[in-house]
Amino acid sequence: MTELQKQLDYVIAKTNRKLIESNQIPPVKTKEGILVGDVLIVSDGAIKHLYKGHQLMYSEVSLNAVAIKLANLLARNFYSTDMMRLYNADQRYGKWFHESQFLRSKYEKCVSNNDYDKADVFWARYCESRERARSAKKTVDSLLVS
């Protein structure tokens, strides 16, 4: 075994140990997706779907950290209103993030077509959506810590 492989194995083992100590279930990559206990996280592009057994529990989760947190809570059969708050905050973030990306592409198209009046409008709307996405992300981050 190479020295690099030994270092990688050490980091993985240490990370798994920390996860277990903090009452978290380590994620395992499978061909179907990422398995956290008995919860499967399936990626569909940038979004994730969470399945427990064959039942869809959460769909269109935007942030990886939210998917892992929800999967851990589901795997431990820990159901609470905090889970729904976290999921809803993630959905708000996803909505604003996708809208900001859409408006950014519209802005760039207007600039390339030399339609600067429309470009200014799209830029202003993009900036507002971007700020709302950042605010929603801060909310998600605060819910992840608690």
Instruction: Specify whether 87 is located in the same domain as 142.
Output: yes
Instruction: Specify whether 89 is located in the same domain as 71.
Output: no
Domain that holds residue 92: 80-146
Comparing 70 with 13, the larger pLDDT belongs to 70
Mean pLDDT of 36-42: 91
Instruction: Specify whether 110 is located in the same domain as 135.
Output: yes
Torsions phi, psi for 71 (to 5 deg): -65, -40
53 confidence band (pLDDT: 50, 70, 90): confident
What pLDDT is attached to residue 9?
Answer: 72
Question: Domain end: 79, 106, 126, which one?
Answer: 79
What pLDDT is attached to residue 23?
Answer: 64
What pLDDT is attached to residue 28?
Answer: 84
Instruction: Specify whether 99 is located in the same domain as 134.
Output: yes
Instruction: Specify whether 33 is located in the same domain as 5.
Output: yes
Torsions phi, psi for 17 (to 5 deg): -65, -45
Instruction: Specify whether 15 is located in the same domain as 49.
Output: yes
Question: Domain end: 49, 79, 109, which one?
Answer: 79
Segment 22-38, tens digit of pLDDT: 667 778 888 999 998 88
Cβ-in-10-Å burial (0-12, 13-18, 19+) of 98 comes to middle
Number of domains in the chain: 2
Segment 61-78, tens digit of pLDDT: 999 999 999 998 898 887
Long-range contacts of 39-42, Cβ-Cβ distance < 8 Å, separation of 24 or more: 39/71, 39/72, 39/74, 39/75, 41/67, 41/68, 41/71
Segment 82-135, tens digit of pLDDT: 899 999 999 999 999 999 999 999 999 999 999 999 999 999 999 999 999 999
Cβ-in-10-Å burial (0-12, 13-18, 19+) of 94 comes to buried
